[in-house]
Amino acid sequence: MKLLSMVIKLLENSRAVAAVEFGLALPLMSTIALSGAELTNFVTTKMRISQLALHVADNAARMGTGTVLANKQITEAQINDLLTGAGLQSGRLDLFGHGRVILSSIEPIENPNPTSRYRIRWQRCRGAKTWPSSQGRAGDSNLSGVTVGGQTATAPDDGALMFVEIAYDYQPLIARLFVPQSQITATAAMTVRDQRDYGGGTNGIYNNENMVPSTC
């Protein structure tokens, strides 16, 4: 009789039922919460990598020193400073520790350029990640342009296109299990704004400061 009485009391105790329901629901609720946090972090990181690519391309298109009477000259020091700035801007993402930035100067093979063919005049890279450019290496020619966001971008006659590629290994908050991919990539391109000296130095880059180039 005592055993039967205890069973009846347990069945009538709604607090025990609530505890069991909470215990069963907790793993599902935790999974939803953790996956939501991870996906939010992934989307934020992807947006930041895309913005970094755009900023590097924009700054590369503006860099150079010169006067109104002379074309702008770009230097290895300026390119190094540009890449260093990208690393500082990335903050806790540690862009160069977990990724790679590739900056390419896309220029016409000839001027004028009736055949609409282009070359990679020079290329600079930084980052611990091993990842090749999607367009090739410095010196490659006979390109029809570069693909940015599904569209083809080309350099103008007597000009250049600064093309940036970034690959980054996503660093999860919890686990990569909750994100669709482990590598984030971004591309951006900007046309050089001012008249630039493309013929001086080494392939258009001066190095009066004797800096170590960020070669690929």
Mean pLDDT of the chain: 87
3-state secondary structure of 139: coil
Is 20 within a domain? yes
pLDDT band (50, 70, 90) for residue 39: confident
pLDDT band (50, 70, 90) for residue 24: low
- What pLDDT does 23 receive? 59
pLDDT for residue 160 is more than 90: yes
Is 216 within a domain? no
pLDDT band (50, 70, 90) for residue 175: confident
Is 58 within a domain? yes
Can you tell me the mean pLDDT for 77-95? 96
Cβ atoms 160, 108 nearer than 8 A = no
Is 85 within a domain? yes
Both tokens of 205, joined, read 């880059």
Is 212 within a domain? no
Is 213 within a domain? no
How many helical (H) and strand (E) elements, i.e. helices and strands, does the chain have?
Answer: 4, 9
Residue 85 domain boundaries: 3-206
pLDDT band (50, 70, 90) for residue 5: confident
Q: Residues 104-141: pLDDT tens digits?
A: 999 999 888 888 899 999 999 999 999 999 999 999 98
Is 211 within a domain? no
Per-position b or e across 66-93, b if 16+ CB within 10 A of its CB: eeeeeebbbbbebbbebbeebbeebeeb
Count of domains forming the chain: 1
pLDDT for residue 148 is more than 60: yes
- What pLDDT does 36 receive? 75
Can you tell me the mean pLDDT for 91-107? 96
Is 17 within a domain? yes
pLDDT band (50, 70, 90) for residue 60: very high
pLDDT band (50, 70, 90) for residue 38: confident
